[in-house]
Amino acid sequence: MKIQILESTDTNIKFVLKDSFISYANAIRRILISEVPTVTIDLVEIEINNTALPDEIISSRLGLIPIYVHKDLLFRDQCDCTDSCSKCSIDLTIFANNNNNEPLIVTCKDFKYDTNLISIKNAPIIAKLGANQSLKVKCKAFKGTGSIHAKWSPVSTVGFEYDKGNKTRSTNFWRENDQDTIAEDDSDLLVKINEIEMNVEIVEGFGRPLDILVKALEILKNKFNYLKKDLIQYI
């Protein structure tokens, strides 16, 4: 199996799998969505909130902020600590107070955290503070995967296509009046599909698309290695 990168941007990567099968492409798709680990906020303690937004909305917004981590954290259930520690979690705080009559916009740039551990690329709005309103929040970010909650999924969409000419007739085209119908003689039901074009769009802030793709391929490789070791006992 070979791979050829067709296009790569800050949030998107397009590539072709050659000498491969549809099942491999689907396996990569599933791993990208639900098994590549990322770090997001999972524990929120709101000390002060007299804004127009209820605590639940603010907590939900905080949980959807992508965080790029500069070190490898342990999963929460794999750490030896009883609750949380520096090995499995990262602390973030926000304290904003509006003493003016103009609205104060609170974004991710107002987070206080160790810049040596994490970085937050984009700055979505968390809340707007009116006059004499305050927001004080303590957060803990943990490592997780999309299989636990969708907020940990590093990708927004993953798609793949094959048989662009529809030689196998696996798709029934919608025949419009101004569209030429495809002749049945042009079909080839035995055509071999060995090239699959995949397109992956990531959530901005979790890292480079190529790095996330490499992580997914490493996970797939480890699955095969684990299966191989398990089968050796029967040889």
CATH superfamily, region 2-36+153-168+190-230: RNA polymerase, RBP11-like subunit (3.30.1360.10)
End-to-end CA separation in angstroms for the chain: 26
Mean pLDDT of the chain: 88
Amino acid residing at 216: A
Which residue has tokens 């074009």? Answer: 197
* Average pLDDT of the residues in 216-227: 94
Q: What pLDDT is recorded for position 174?
A: 53
The pair of structure tokens assigned to 180 is 């030429």
Residue 67 CA to residue 73 CA, distance in Å, equals 12
Query: What is the percent of the chain with per-residue pLDDT over 70, rounded to a whole number?
Result: 87
pLDDT at 181 over 60: no
Residue ranges of the chain assigned to CATH 2.170.120.12: 39-145
Euclidean distance between CA atoms 84 and 22, whole angstroms: 41
In the numeric block, the tokens 């769009």 are attached to 201
Supply the DSSP symbol for 65: -
Residue 115 has pLDDT above 80, yes or no: no
What is the location of CATH 3.30.1360.10 in the chain?
2-36+153-168+190-230
154 three-class SS: coil
What is the average per-residue pLDDT within 18-34?
Answer: 93
pLDDT at residue 177, as a whole number: 47
User: Tens of pLDDT along 116-144?
Assistant: 888 888 778 999 999 999 999 999 999 99
Contacts of 149 (CB under 8 A, 6+ apart): none
Cα(228)–Cα(231) distance, integer angstroms? 5
| Three-state SS annotation for 46-64 | EEEECCCCCHHHHHHHHHC
pLDDT band at 171 (very low <50, low <70, confident <90, very high): low
pLDDT surpasses 80 at 184: no
The two three-digit tokens of residue 40, written as one number: 């997001």
Q: Concatenate the DSSP letters of all residues of 79-136 into one string.
A: SSSSS--TTTEEEEEEEEE--SSS-EEEEGGG-B--TTTEE-----EEEEE-TT-EEE
Q: What are phi and psi of 143, to 5 degrees?
A: -85, 140
For the domain bounded by 39-145, which CATH number is listed? Answer: 2.170.120.12
Q: What is the CA radius of gyration of the chain?
A: 24
Structure tokens at 88: 């499995």
The closest alpha carbon to 113, from 96, 93, 95, 137, belongs to: 93
Checking if the pLDDT of 176 tops 70, the result is no
Reduced to 3 states (helix: H, G, I; strand: E, B; else coil), residue 151 is: helix
Model confidence at 179, pLDDT cuts 50, 70, 90, reads very low
